[in-house]
Structure 1
Amino acid sequence: MYGFFRNFANLIWTKKSISTDGSAADEKWRITFYQIFISLGPLTFCMGVGGMMGFSGIFLPQLKEENKETNEPESDIPSWIASSAVLSMTIASVFGGFFMEKYGRKRAHVIPAIPGILGWLTIAFSNSIATILVGRVLTGISCGLFAPITSSYIGEITAPSIRPFVLGCITLALTIGTLLCHLVGTFYSWKMAALLCLLFPTIGGLLTLFSEETPNWLFRKNRADEACAAFERIRGKSDEAKRELEIILERHKNGVANPGKSLKDTARDVMSKPEIYKPLLVVVLYFMSAQFAGINVVTFYAIDVVKLSLGPNFQNSHLIMLAMDSVRAVTSIIACILLKNLKRRHLVIGGGLGCLICLLTLSASNFLSGTIKNPTISVYIPLISLLGYVFFISISLVPLPWCLAGELLPLEVKGLASSILCFTSFSAFFIAIKFSPFLFSFLGSGSTYLIFSVFTLFGTVLCMILLPETKNKTLNEIADTYRNK
């Protein structure tokens, strides 16, 4: 077992940093494993977000069979069940950034476990749509509270060599949560799926108790001795780690972190300093373009999307849903490796263009299937394009925004910047989930996929022009790329 984990650590650490000295290699393995271990709590919470996103995909079809009222065309019940969690998540995300600054990254991760546990218990034992909505709101609050924290926490505790890999695991955790929820909901019932999702905030909260507070937050609170001790536990005592710690100490002494600034002064910095508002604007726009590219519509309305894409008479919708989840899970693993080894710009261009081609093909096939009755055009081409869309969007538009949020947001305003980012992106998330059924119903799937393709193109071009390269750079080096010299 030791040999397995050591090889795993060596795989995700850059080759040039692995020493031929056995003791040095063991120390790097220990530090790598420790950084991954203290990330497990936040990543388990992310599985809960995946469960929340995937729950409506298996609950709504079962609800429609049990309750004819939701089958009426004018009924808003399905869209509210799907989007209510996102709406509460949007509102709660405003407070997540303040919690992480006031209580620290570690303790701010434990707080959301309470509404998460209560929410899934409410859903599992509910017997009405009203209580389902209450449970969905509570689970959304839980997800919103820790959403601004996770990428910041992982970005601050991991070394530049493995930071992209672990940040990429956020998407992998989301995907696994969705897949498990869909599996249990398909073969058992939505109540069993809710009980499964109950485990995520419970286990995540317990694992977070074993996490470390980030040195950056401790420095901002003028707890330098604790910060240095935490840095050595998390990052070790290698020459590279010592150099980075010296830079952090120098910046702390020079007051770069600005630990005593008020909220008003911090907000003024966000509006006026290019090293703050430029990276925040890039990440916000990329997040929003990803949401309007349909990134979560396929997850929330999985069965409906399959039927709209392949025709209402298609008989294997649940099988295709699980196939999409499997493609997403495998691709998320690939994305973790690619984030570790490839430049961000290459992933943006490759994944964005692949996603764009698949969306345009889906749009064209859906337009043509109304006039040309051919199984190749109406079933096989849309099926391949839909799976291809899931593949490419999981390579670029799903993992990259979270990775960039952990790397680009400036340390000195991370709480406020994370709240702004999550509020704006989750607002776009809510709009996409709430109104996508309307688009599919009144514009048709062909036009809807065409709209998705426009936002995919926008996000790809945006990052091609404005995204700096962050691979193998420390957070301070990334911040300096935007700072006026």
Structure 2
Amino acid sequence: MYKQAIVTFASSLLCLSGGLTIGISAVLLPKLEEDEEFYWTKEYGSWIASIAPISSIFSCLCIGSLLDRFGRKSAHIMLSFPFIIGWLCMAFANDFYVMMVGRFFTGFSFGAVRSTSIIYLGEISDPKYRGIILLCPTLAMNFGVLLSHVIGYLTNWRTALLICIFPNVIQLVLIFFLKESPYWLISKGRVNEAIECFRWFRGMGARSENELHLIIEKQKSKGAGLTIRELLKIVFSGSFGRPIVTLFFVFLAMQFSGINVFPFYANDLVVTMFDEKIDTFLVMMIIDLIRVGVCVLICLIGKVMHRRASFLYCTYATVILLFLLVVVRFYEKAVPYKWIPLSLVLFYNGVASVVVSIGWSFIAELFPNNVRGLGSGLAGAISYCLLSSSVKVTPDLLARGEPAMYGTFAIVTLISSVILYSLLPETHGKTLQAIEDSYNNKDRTTTL
């Protein structure tokens, strides 16, 4: 188990860098505006905030082939370098265009880190602990957002950007000492190496050996590689198509719940929602701590938590809280206590954080082994297309009034969660092979 913990820590550092990427804009933009040596216009802010999710789409389209061709471990190494280049470009930028180049590089890696980390961790982890391990990248992402706000507030913006490099350096050192995913090695026909790696991660218990034997037997029937015809057959099969459709609605519920928009415009949203005199940094810290705390909590109970039920219950709770915010903000003058909207926002952030944490964990579990990289990359691209859309439309929705923004988020989340009730399978405690078989209707005990 301790080896799986070390791998989880190393891989999660990549996601921590992703959290730094999405969180840094909330404190970077106000400081750039105040910096007299940095030329600034209001239009620059939305571009710097939104370029990261836009560039993320490109990496999502590339990461599938990288994961399937070069392996999960190699993909971790490849993604570290754009982060480092991006942070350096931004730290030494003297104009908007160099800043945008750096932001593009960090955004490029940001788009692929979560699927890369979750795929790797999903394949090396014991089903007994997989529920906990797959939540750690999201915990690291939320901690990265918190850390970015702290260092951005306490230091000069150039110093803050240089500090952001360190997680990538530590991750690069650690990852060189770790082993490749046995699932990927088996898919490439490197069976002996895969057996060694599998036992290094999981030991030689009876249950682990049975799982290893089943994986090898399944792969023998598939072959070591895929022809174009075989690949197309899988892509257009139910075992690939249903996960893509399912994850589309999972990500639609996640990204249009509004929770992931907050880090991009945290300062502006807090001021708009409450009062210009409120301590916006304090509110940001409270919300960041809530999100991190929620992730820690669900990691602690992840071993026994049924993820499908938990995800759906939390989407319904998010919808209820969003509609309550619509009512409270619409009848603002009739609300006797000003702490009521603040409390609703804090509860909303906590519940919606569960939706995001659990939602991303499904990406490692639903796709067939042979095309898991391709599927995760495509699903990630869909997610960040939806995130880019939500980031771009939020200022316009907010300009129409907070009830319009909350109402739109609530309606989209509600529609998605109703559809997911019939699409989303329970994956708790099941092996990856059992989940794959459920989509092929080979194992009726694992169907929806």
TM-score (norm 2): 0.94
Deviation readout 1:273-328 (Å, 9 max, x if unpaired): 112211222112211221111121111111111112113x3321111001100111
* 1:375 positional shift: 6.1
Matched, 1:393 2:352: yes
> 1:270 matched to which residue of 2?
235
How far residue 145 of structure 1 moved from its aligned partner, in angstroms, is 4.0
Choose the corresponding residue for 1:149, options 81, 91, 116: 116
The AA in structure 1 aligned to 2:438 is: T
Of the three residues 397, 406, 414, the one matched with 1:457 is: 414
Give the superposition deviation at 1:361. 1.8
Name 1:301's counterpart in structure 2.
265
Q: Alpha carbons of 1:375 and 1:193: their partners in 2 closer, same or farther (altered >3 Å)?
A: farther
Distance (Å, rounded) in 1 between the aligned partners of 2:11 and 2:374: 20
Q: Partner of 2:128 in structure 1? A: 161
In structure 1, stretches of 5+ residues that fail to align are 1-31
| Distance apart, 1:127 and its partner CA | 2.1
Structure 2 partner of 1:421: 379
Q: For the residues of structure 1 that align with 2:289 and 2:367, how far apart are their CA atoms?
A: 31
- Deviation, 1:70, is 5.6
In the aligned structure 2, how far is the partner of 1:205 from the partner of 1:458? 41
1:102 shift after superposition: 1.0
Provide the rounded CA distance (Å) in 2 between the counterparts of 1:454 and 1:80: 27
Q: State how far apart, in whole Å, the 2-side matches of 1:420 and 1:212 are.
A: 25
- The answer to whether the Cα contact below 8 Å between 2:239 and 2:367 also exists between their aligned partners in 1 is no
Q: Which residue of 1 aligns with 2:96?
A: 129
- List aligned pairs for 1:25-44, cutoff 5 A: 32-44=1-13
One-letter code of the match for 1:309? Answer: M
Aligned counterpart, 2:67: 100
| Secondary structure at the counterpart of residue 398 of structure 2 | helix
**Deviating more after overlay: 452-461 vs 292-301:** 452-461
- Cα shift readout 1:440-465 (whole Å, capped 9, x = no counterpart): 12x21111011111122133223322
* Residue 58 (structure 1) aligns with: 27
Aligned-partner residue type, residue 213 of structure 1 = E
SS at match of 1:210: coil
Letter of the 2:289 counterpart? S
Change (3 A) 1:62 1:374: farther
Query: In 1, distance between residues paired with 2:278 and 2:428?
Result: 45
Give the Cα–Cα distance (whole angstroms) in 1 for the partners of residues 346 and 159 of structure 2.
27
Which amino acid in structure 1 is aligned with residue 290 of structure 2?
V
Provide the identity percentage.
32
SS of the equivalent of 1:38 reads helix
Partner residue, 1:25:
none
Alpha-carbon deviation of 1:64?
Answer: 3.2
CA distance in 2, matches of 1:388, 1:110: 37
Corresponding position of 1:473: 430
Q: By how many angstroms is 1:113 displaced? A: 1.1
Match of 1:317 among 280, 283, 289: 280
Partner of 2:78: 111
**2:155 counterpart residue number:** 188
Letter in 2 for 1:298: F
Counterpart AA for 1:36: A
Query: Offset at 1:144?
Result: 2.8
Distance in 2 between residues matched to 1:358 and 1:53, nearest whole Å: 24
SS at match of 2:127: coil
Structure 2 CA distance for partners of 1:458 and 1:104, relative to 1, 3 Å: same
Q: Is the Cα contact below 8 Å between 2:112 and 2:380 reproduced in 1?
A: no
Q: CA RMSD in A?
A: 1.8
Alignment CA distance shift 1:449-1:69 (3 Å)? farther
Q: 1:128 to 1:274 in 2, by over 3 A?
A: same
Give 1:246's aligned amino acid: H
Secondary structure, in 3 states, of the residue corresponding to 2:303?
A: helix
Aligned mate of 1:338, from 288, 298, 301: 301
CA apart distance, 1:107: 0.8
Q: Which runs of 5+ in 2 are unaligned?
A: 443-448
Structure 2 distance, partners of 1:123, 1:141, is: 14
* Alpha-carbon contact 2:131-2:305 (below 8 Å) kept: no
Distance 2:397 2:348 in 1: 19
Distance 2:16 2:33 in 1: 26
User: C-alpha separation between the residues in 2 aligned to 1:298 and 1:309?
Assistant: 12
Query: Retained in 2: the 8 A contact 1:181–1:196?
Result: no
The amino acid of 1:458's aligned partner reads I
Kindly provide the CA deviation profile for residues 83-138 of structure 1, in whole angstroms up to 9, marking residues without a partner as x. 11111111121111111111111111101111110110111122222221111001
CA deviation after TM superposition for structure 1 residue 336, in Å: 1.3
- Secondary structure of the residue aligned to 2:177 is coil
Match of 1:436 among 391, 394, 417: 394
- Equivalent residues of 1:96, 1:144 under 8 A apart: no
CA contact (8 A) 1:309 1:362 kept: no
Q: What pairs up with 1:59-74 in 2 under 5 angstroms? A: 59-66=28-35
